[in-house]
Amino acid sequence: MTRAFDIRPIKNYIMKKGYLFLAIIGFIAPNIFVLRESFETGNILLYTNPTATFEGMFANAISTAFMVNLLFVVMVFFIWSYYEAKKHGIKRIWFIWILTLLFGIAGAFPLFLYLKEKSKIY
């Protein structure tokens, strides 16, 4: 009897590399604009002047719609990632949450998916 070739480890390797690549791009791309704003206004990482940050985030109906959507997505991500981290034995989920709050979900979410793939055992 012949055994079928198990492709799961190869798929896992490809997915891990893909998620890691997306995490790097997700941390760099949006934060180019944050750095530009930081240099232009002195509002470092948009945290040193929270009033200006909130005024910009909720400047009009369109930006408010995007912000409410983003805040909801982040809240759902925190809840979902907590349970997924427990299920897959991922330790220090709080580190991913801190990265999310500091640099955004665009990099933190694929980084979490990378850690989730990394935890899989075949």
Averaged pLDDT, 99-122? 94
Residue 45 to residue 35: CA distance in whole angstroms:
7
Q: Which helix or strand (DSSP H or E) is residue 56 part of?
A: helix 50-57
How much is the pTM? 0.89
Give the tens place of pLDDT for each residue, 38-86: 999 999 989 999 999 999 999 999 999 999 999 999 999 999 999 999 9
Residue 15 to residue 26: CA distance in whole angstroms:
16
| Structure-token pair, residue 68 | 């409410």
Domains of the chain, by residue range, sit at 12-118
